[in-house]
């Protein structure tokens, strides 16, 4: 059976990872959440006090990049891979609103992007991969057979992210979650290096009013054209 590359891009909390995970499980493909990689670099910078409330030392972060090792380790119980930063499982720590507050600024740095994009391309060199992010169809795998671009209204997205965080016991306010979603979209769309944009040949899916099942069926139909 022919293996393909599936690139899924879109704004924050559009349900990219939900579709990507379901697809990967169904097809027996590898799933890579590239947002987790940018989040882990941001967590490292926070831990090392390279970034913080009133400082953001870009040059120091670039210098430290060789000391940052990222690895996805498959968790059989969960059915997906978890992010390890320098050998430590940081899956929980990278999903906080604090990390979300810095990650888009870290992702603006070209040196950070170059390092992560190279690793992403390496992971996908044998195809049979579903990767989600912001620049997968445009920069990481411009030749991907199937490119999806997910959208949903900001309110729908903020509600989803709020529900996720609350379910994990994070005491957050809906307004700060909404503000973070809007702010990240703004930075991600306007940055110089690899801005978030729909690839010309990507198929747009607005899932504001789609159930999980409806969305999955629609995507599977698209996949079946290639495999």
Contact positions toward ligand C5P, by CB under 6 A? 12, 34-35, 38-39, 103-104, 107, 133-136, 184, 188
Shortest distance, position 99 Cβ to ligand C5P, whole Å: 9
- Residue 15 marked in a binding site: yes
Within 10 Å of residue 52's Cβ, how many Cβ atoms? 12
Specify the 3-state DSSP secondary structure of 195: coil
- Residue among 39 and 147 whose Cβ is closer to ligand C5P: 39
Spatial contact of 99 and 43, defined as CB atoms under 8 Å apart: yes
- Residue among 1 and 200 whose Cβ is closer to ligand C5P: 200
- Residue 133 marked in a binding site: no
- Residue 208 marked in a binding site: no
Shortest distance, position 52 Cβ to ligand C5P, whole Å: 18
Spatial contact of 119 and 37, defined as CB atoms under 8 Å apart: yes
Spatial contact of 7 and 137, defined as CB atoms under 8 Å apart: yes
Shortest distance, position 41 Cβ to ligand C5P, whole Å: 9
Shortest distance, position 117 Cβ to ligand C5P, whole Å: 8
Spatial contact of 133 and 9, defined as CB atoms under 8 Å apart: yes
- Residue among 2 and 111 whose Cβ is closer to ligand C5P: 111
* H helices, E strands: number in the chain: 8, 10
Name the binding residues.
10-18
């Amino acid at each position: 059976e022919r293996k393909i590359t599936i690139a899924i891009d879109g704004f924050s909390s559009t349900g990219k990872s939900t579709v990507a995970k379901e697809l990967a499980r169904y097809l027996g493909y590898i799933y890579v959440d590239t947002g987790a990689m940018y989040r882990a670099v941001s967590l490292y910078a926070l831990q090392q006090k390279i970034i913080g409330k009133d400082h953001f030392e870009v040059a120091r972060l670039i210098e430290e990049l060789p000391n940052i090792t990222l690895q996805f380790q498959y968790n059989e119980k969960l059915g997906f891979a978890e992010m390890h930063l320098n050998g430590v499982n940081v899956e929980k720590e990278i999903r906080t609103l604090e990390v979300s507050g810095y990650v888009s600024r870290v992702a603006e740095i070209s040196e950070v992007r170059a390092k992560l994009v190279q690793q992403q391309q390496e992971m996908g060199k044998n195809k049979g991969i579903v990767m989600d992010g912001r620049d997968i169809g445009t920069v990481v795998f411009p030749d991907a057979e199937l490119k999806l671009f997910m959208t949903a209204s900001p309110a729908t997205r903020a509600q989803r992210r709020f529900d996720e965080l609350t379910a994990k016991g994070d005491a957050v306010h809906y307004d700060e979650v909404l503000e973070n979603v809007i702010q990240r979209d703004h930075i991600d769309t306007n940055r110089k290096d690899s801005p978030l944009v729909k690839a010309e040949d990507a198929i747009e899916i607005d899932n504001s009013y789609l159930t999980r099942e409806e969305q999955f069926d629609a995507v599977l139909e698209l996949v079946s054209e290639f495999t």
